[in-house]
Amino acid sequence: MTEEQPPGGEWRKLKPDAEHALRSLLEKVDSHASPMELFESYAYTKEVTARAVQARMEMYLPDSDAAFHHVRGVILRELTARYSHAIPESILRVPYGSSVHERIFALLHEQLARPVPAAIIRIVTADNVHTERRIRELRELGLDVHPTGSGNGQGGYELRSLEVDLGKLPSIARNIIRSKKSLPEHRRAQMLRDAGIPGDE
């Protein structure tokens, strides 16, 4: 789901390059290519095929996951009901709503109550570094996401239900207030007190 074009278009664009790169790599493996030539061919093939496979996987994810927006709506309604007297509407927003968060949720939602390997999530998001943090942020919203498998890189994540843990609301509200660095510290502290949220957690 790139911004430049839909996943199907990206896949059609990258598929010939990936096929050519794979054929070229196999030819070099079967020939007397030097280690450097093999490495350069492998590095290029790895990059282009990774982007092609990512685009191919994204073709099966929705452009917009209705369940993602529904659960975010539930969170916002509950935040508003509990804290609108203390937190101005202008800053009362549900965090972690980026396209990457939605893409991860869509992948987990498509396999609801079944484990999704972390490696697949990394491919779809094209991110080998921040995937775990994005998952943790979804859990901070109260989403029912659990780690599965082993901790040796073979694990994954499972969205067990679409129920939201409303016990996370105070933490969400606290983070909203604390993130507003443009507000004076005493104002943020007062908002926490008005909301009845401890500020030292």
pLDDT at 50 over 70: yes
Rounded Cα distance between 11 and 52, Å, is 6
- Who has greater pLDDT, 133 or 52? 133
pLDDT confidence bin for 7, thresholds 50/70/90: low
pLDDT at 180 over 50: yes
Residues 6+ apart with CB under 8 A from 39: none
